[in-house]
Structure 1
Amino acid sequence: MTDKTAASGASIADHGIVGDLQTAALVSTRGSIDWFCCPRFDSPSVFGALLDEDGGHFGIRPAGGEYTTRQAYHPDSAVLITRFFTESGVGEVVDFMPPLTGAATSGHRIVRMLRCVRGTLRFLVEVAPRFDYGRQRHEAGRAGAGVLFSAGGSTIALHPVREPGEEYLAATEVTGGDVRVDIELTAGQVRGVVLESDPDGPPREIRPAEIGALFDRTVGFWRSWLAGSTYRGRWREAVTRSAITLKLMTYAPTGGIVAAPTMALPEQIGGERNWDYRYTWVRDASFSVGALLGLGLLDEARSFGAWLGDRVRERAGGPSGPLKIMYRVDGTSELKEEALPHWSGYRASRPVRVGNDAADQLQLDIYGEALDSVFIADRAGIGLPLRGWAAIADVLDWVSRNWQQDEEGIWETRGGRRPFTYGRLMCWTALDRGIRLATEHGRPAELARWTRERDRIHEEIQEKGWHPARHAFVQHYHTDVVDSALLRMPKVGFVAPRDPQWLSTLDVMKQDLVTDSLVYRYDPAASPDGLRGEEGTFSLCTFAYAEALARSGRLEQAWLVFSKMLTYANHVGLYSEEIALTGEQVGNFPQAFTHLALVDAALALDRALDAAG
């Protein structure tokens, strides 16, 4: 019988993340894996206790008696350590997934290394998978040296980590497809279990020395990757953790970067804003590439550039233009949204959505973000690929003809299309970057038309996106509501960061959207978005606000906003999408948007502080 309270009682922020660059697992401070999809980020879940108490979990905790826990990352790595303190001793679970960086897409391994540090400790291991979001019945049985779980065409092996002659897992309790086993250790002993998907043979006995070597290689991988970072600023710990988190959300076989490894975590507890973020948004991934390029990490830009080039050449966007706003990690675009009625949702937040119907929306801003990432990569020395320029030019031709369309906008509103100022701004950005790239590299282009339309957009935003009575740029042409998406205006070069129009816009944003340094995206009450309920402050926007303040010379204010925002990180430096009124993290977790914005804000603040002496 499993302990469902231990499995599902953790909050969103009570988790760390481990991953192998194709999928990821969330591990709670209680030692339970409460979320894991396999074999990819966007595959059905195997462990889903984060969304339902019977959604499946993989728990490890002290058996019997009270205990306290602490959690931390092994320095400069994605190896997570959960420590248990009991009356009889101190122990820890060291969780990691050896990276899969080649062409292999099977054989995902979650290594759970158990160590007794002091005294004695008896660990209780519970493995309770629930395949296909709990919709697929499975079987479990002893095989080889361990246990096999199977459902449909999926197989997962549980391998014991032990010395020769030891018998744990031989006396494993298998009940109703779940497994329970005790492992008692004394100080200095290292044992554990390894969960492997689609193994090429029966479960086998693994020696502690083999796990130690895997640990060393995994730590070595992350440190080798981080060695490419040029960041030497004031916030190394936060920036490094954000960089690792962004890397963990990269699907290595294609270069796609997911917005988050989770789905259906609510923006409001008990509300309906529960979206599936396990896909590659053109916008989010482009922003992520920009942040990593700012740290001198170039490989991700090359990989994403190849991924984006494939999407551009496909020209499969349909009504949304040459590009869709999001894709699966393999580049396919079928993301039909459905609800899982058998799942209760995180703290009863329903519906539990899988898939995302926003994939077919028209969001004009994606073209600016994509072209800006190409432009930044070119500036970083990666170079503009000759192959694919014709497709890029076709995209820019489309933008030059379609930028005046009404659209759903960056926030994927479901209340109808509008002439969003941010969408126009990013169309201006797309054309501006295309003009520069074509000119500098001598590429064939409709420069006269691109230039004419770029300038028309600039004039229209000044005329219709500026609200004279409010002294601010506003969300769309038919409102007086401000929108924090426009914090990017000076960053893309549309307006100077100390221009009076921009400074007055910042003042209005502070008045309408900022609460003790935290920033809302917009006011849904003043600008209905077609959804019920409210949402928290948007962490991307808070970091973007700090960056905009720094660029605009309001350095003390920027520094304070950034410093306060750092206090909302969880115990291992991770952020979800939003911060609720209570200060708790809500929304999908960890969120690429938030971590890339932290990096951008830290870089801008470092530059401003250095310049100020």
Structure 2
Amino acid sequence: MKHSLDLALIGNCQIGALIDTQAEIVWYCLPRFDGDPVFCSLLQEHEPGEGVGYCSIELMDQVASEQDYLPNSAVLVTRMTDSRGGVVEITDFAPRFRQYGRIFTPIMLVRQVRRLHGTPRIVARVRPARNYGAERGEYTYGSHHVRYVSPYMVLRLSTDASITAILQELPFVLDDEVNLVFGPDETVHENVSELAHRFRNDTIAYWQEWVRDLGIPYEWQDEVIRAAITLKLNAFEDTGAIAAALTTSIPEAPDSGRNWDYRYCWLRDSYFVVNALNRLGATKTMERYLRYLVNVVAGSEGGYLQPVYGIDGSSNLEEKEMPSLPGYRGMGPVRVGNQACLQVQHDVYGSAVLAVTHVFFDHRLMQRGDLPLFQRLEPLGEMAIQVHDQPDAGLWELRGSRRVHTFSSIMCWAACDRLGRIAVRLGLKERAAYWEAQAQRIHETVCRRGWNEEKKSFTAAFEGDSLDASLLLMHDVGFLAADDPRFASTVAAIERELRRGDYIFRYVEDDDFGTPKNAFIVCTYWYIYALVALGRTEEARRLFENLLARHNRHGLMAEHVDVATGEQWGNFVQTYSMVGLINAAIRLSKRWDTAF
């Protein structure tokens, strides 16, 4: 069975699962996003009825299927039809709702399988794996449950289906409904069917109420709502961290070796994520994410920051390969952990300060910025001053070379610039003058060393001649005004050199793995931001509509896109891509008060 990224995401901000068009759970990690994948067929293809590491509900003699989310929710419904007109409906969700005055997010997936028409026969195959697909776990069972045992945890299936049919994978006629509840090794004391129905209704109500509180644009409402729910599903409730994606090792392009574990929190994402959450009015999610960032900053030694941290804030993300999994479509290696935690990446100082700046200016937040927090941020600014003209791996985390990347220097400027603004806000005149002077000095350095007069453009590195899509953000972070001719000419140069059809590549020069083959999706969104700033709105709208057409059937996007075929590649669902959608739609949409 050849996998694609035409997948749906369900979750509850504690766990997440990916489900394919035939209702197979192809990816599900326990006990959280970065845990061992008990269902991992996304990286280990199998023939029907074979292999381990998946959960499927197979309809005998199936001839058709359709799938969609229930409106404004993270509850997925798949309907399958057999050759005799029998129809089965499978509802998948992870419970999330308010209970006893707090949000209830158990380590639990619920599958409800219901007969709609005819006399359909189904087979339920439950085949958890352990240790990244290396082996099938042992099991014990009782009258209404199966315990799948591994050294890391016990996955308990509570069900009102026949235990014999589950264990022996026997076909049976679905008379009415069966429920499968996957959770921790705890007895389910109430009727499984009643629990599943109650949890489903409460979960639907939670998501629909959450969506009602969003501030969304007039146009592309469904797309923005789905992106917002997806962004929320990538947020880890316990710490507030937002993962870059919930998968590992989906290659950026076929057989490229660019296979990375993205189940962690990148500081480079923070500015864009916080902006999107702020624009949506999702202040509680934003506040929890900001608290995570503040904790990372507080734990830094001397102001030093890594590019990436674990969703629990851990700094050690040792990277290793897992030969037990062959990889997406057999394209290994499968990696766990990420060596980027060891890299030197200077843009992180600006990203962190830009994000945390909201705490000082947003009056909706419960915890406001104060002098002690400002004093914790100042060492980040001092680091930015020290490194703004020093070589690093850059935004794209090049592993084989270092240069003085212009975007990294611009973000160092942003750190000092925002510290100056915060100091003004706090009435700290001397500190404001200090940070404003440092920002001015870095700005002058970037303009002198990052500008290429021959190309009439800022370049990827100081005294260089190659281009980088991150330079499209110079206006977005406030480094250049939209009417500065250097901004327009840099955009024009990027159009000449990095544009391929309707997409922008992040760069086109060779790196550690050769020449990039696919477009990094968020770069095209950055191009759209730049076009809007330059008043080229109709061009921007056309490119935006093209990107929306590349989404899968559920409106979800991975990290990269093949510019020739439109096929998605890279880890899924990609936070960067969904945030790009949200920010672009808000910039491009007609205003509510002018729409009618």
TM-score tier, shorter chain, comes to over 0.9
Q: How does 1:61-460 map to 2 (within 5 A)?
A: 61-63=58-60, 65-88=61-84, 89-99=86-96, 107-135=106-134, 138-161=137-160, 168-172=161-165, 174=167, 180-186=169-175, 189-196=176-183, 198-201=184-187, 206-316=191-301, 322-381=304-363, 382=365, 383-443=368-428, 446-460=431-445
Partners of 1:16 and 1:125 in 2: CA distance: 20
Instruction: Determine if the alignment matches structure 1 residue 522 to structure 2 residue 511.
Output: no
Query: Following the alignment from structure 1 to structure 2, what is the Cα–Cα distance between the partners of residues 125 and 444?
Result: 68
Contact 1:550–1:608 (CA under 8 A) maintained in structure 2: no
Structure 1 CA distance for aligned equivalents of residues 473 and 418 of structure 2: 15
Q: What residue identity is the alignment partner of 1:569?
A: H
Instruction: For 2:119 and 2:474, locate their aligned partners in 1 and report how far apart those are by CA, in whole Å.
Output: 59
For residues 456 and 206 of structure 1, what CA distance do their matches in structure 2 show? Answer: 68
Inter-partner Cα distance in structure 2 for 1:444 and 1:346: 56
Unaligned runs of 5+ in 1: 162-167
1:21 equivalent to 2:16? Answer: no
Deviation at 1:106, TM superposition (A): 8.6
TM-score, normalised relative to structure 1: 0.90
2:3 pairs with 1:10: yes
Instruction: Give the TM-score normalised by the residue count of structure 2.
Output: 0.93
Choose which of 32, 37, 45 in structure 1 pairs with 2:24: 32
After alignment, is 342-351 or 134-143 more displaced?
Answer: 134-143
Question: Hey, what's the Cα distance between the residues in 1 that align with 2:203 and 2:97?
Answer: 10
Q: Deviations over 1:395-430 (max 9, x none)?
A: 222222332221101111112211101001111111
Q: 1:611/1:76 Cα in 2 relative to 1: closer, same or farther (>3 Å)?
A: closer
Q: Whole-Å Cα distance in 1 between the matches of residues 219 and 103 of structure 2?
A: 38
The alpha carbon displacement at 1:210 in A equals 2.6
Match 2:565 to one of 582, 591, 604 = 582
Please tell me the residue identity of whatever aligns with 1:171. T
Partner of 2:582: 599
Whether the 8 Å contact between 2:3 and 2:329 is mirrored in structure 1 is no
Alignment of 1:469-548 (within 5 A): 469-523=454-508, 526=509, 528-532=510-514, 534-548=516-530
Give the secondary structure class of the aligned counterpart of 1:157. Answer: strand
- Provide Cα deviations, 1:95-143, integer angstroms capped at 9, x if missing partner: 0001288999994111011122222322211011111202355212322
Using the TM superposition, give the Cα deviation of residue 274 of structure 1 relative to its aligned residue in structure 2, in angstroms: 0.2
Question: 2 CA distance for matches of 1:72 and 1:289?
Answer: 28
The answer to whether the 8 Å contact 2:217/2:592 transfers is no
User: In the alignment, residue 199 of structure 1 is paired with which amino acid?
Assistant: D
Counterpart secondary structure, 2:550:
coil
Partner letter of residue 169 of structure 2?
Answer: R
Asked if the contact 1:301–1:377 (Cα under 8 Å) also holds between the matched residues in 2, the reply is no
Q: Are 1:33 and 1:47, in contact at CA under 8 Å, matched by a contact in 2?
A: yes
Q: Give deviations 1:205-241, integer Å, cap 9, x for gaps.
A: 7443332211111111112222221214201111111
Aligned position for 1:165:
none
Secondary structure of 1:589 counterpart: coil
C-alpha deviation, 1:575, in angstroms: 0.1
The 3-state SS of whatever aligns with 2:292 is: helix
User: How far did 1:171 drift?
Assistant: 2.2
Q: Distance in 2 between matches of 1:612 and 1:112?
A: 41
Listed one character per residue, the Cα deviations across residues 175-219 of structure 1 (whole Å, up to 9, x for unaligned) are xxxx62545224xx33221111x2223x67744333221111111
SS of 1:67's equivalent in the other structure is strand
Whole-angstrom distance in 1 between the partners of 2:463 and 2:81? 59
C-alpha change, 1:103 and 1:149, in structure 2 (3 Å) is farther
Contiguous gaps of at least 5 residues in structure 2 = 46-50
Give deviations 1:545-601, integer Å, cap 9, x for gaps. 112111210011111110111100000000000002321100000000000011111
Give me the whole-angstrom Cα distance separating, in 1, the residues matched to 2:338 and 2:226: 28
What secondary structure, in the 3-state scheme, does the structure 2 residue paired with 1:231 have? coil
CA contact (8 A) 1:397 1:450 kept: no
In the aligned structure 2, how far is the partner of 1:135 from the partner of 1:605?
48
Q: Percent identity?
A: 33
Taking structure 1 as reference, are residues 223 and 495 closer, same or farther at Cα in structure 2, changes over 3 Å only? same
Report if the CA contact (8 A) 1:22-1:100 is conserved.
no
Structure 1 contact 271–533 (Cα < 8 Å) conserved:
no
2:432 pairs with 1:461: no
Aligned to 2:62, what secondary structure does the other structure show? coil
Q: 3-state DSSP class of the match of 1:366? A: helix
**Aligned counterpart, 1:567:** 549
Query: In the aligned structure 1, how far is the partner of 2:15 from the partner of 2:400?
Result: 33
| Contact persistence 1:136–1:152 (CA under 8 A) | no
CA contact (8 A) 1:32 1:60 kept: yes
User: Is this contact kept in 1: 2:87–2:115, CA < 8 A?
Assistant: yes
Q: Deviations over 1:12-61 (max 9, x none)?
A: 2x210001101200000011000011011111111111111346101112
In 2, Cα distance between equivalents of 1:233 and 1:377? 28
CA contact (8 A) 1:270 1:348 kept: no
The 8 Å contact of residues 159 and 206 in structure 1, kept in 2 or not, is answered as: no
C-alpha contact (below 8 Å) 1:325/1:366 kept by paired residues: yes
1:245–1:104 CA distance, 2 compared to 1 (3 A):
closer
Measured in 1, the distance between the counterparts of 2:430 and 2:224 equals 39
**Aligned AA for 2:193?**
P
1:79/1:362 CA distance change after superposition, 3 Å: same
- Structure 1 residues 470 and 18 mapped into 2: Cα distance closer, same or farther (>3 Å)? same
Contact 2:252 2:518 in 1 (8 A): yes
Matched-pair contact (CA < 8 Å) for 1:555–1:608? no
Size of the aligned set, in residue pairs, is 584
Q: Distance in 1 between matches of 2:280 and 2:15?
A: 24
Q: Residues 69-108 of structure 1, C-alpha deviation per residue, up to 9 Å, x if partnerless?
A: 1111100001111121222322221100012889999941
Mapped partners of 1:454, 1:207: distance in 2: 61
Task: Say if 1:160 and 1:205, in contact at 8 Å, map to a contact too.
Answer: no
Find the residue that maps to 1:218 and give its secondary structure: helix
CA shift, 1:286, in A, is: 3.5
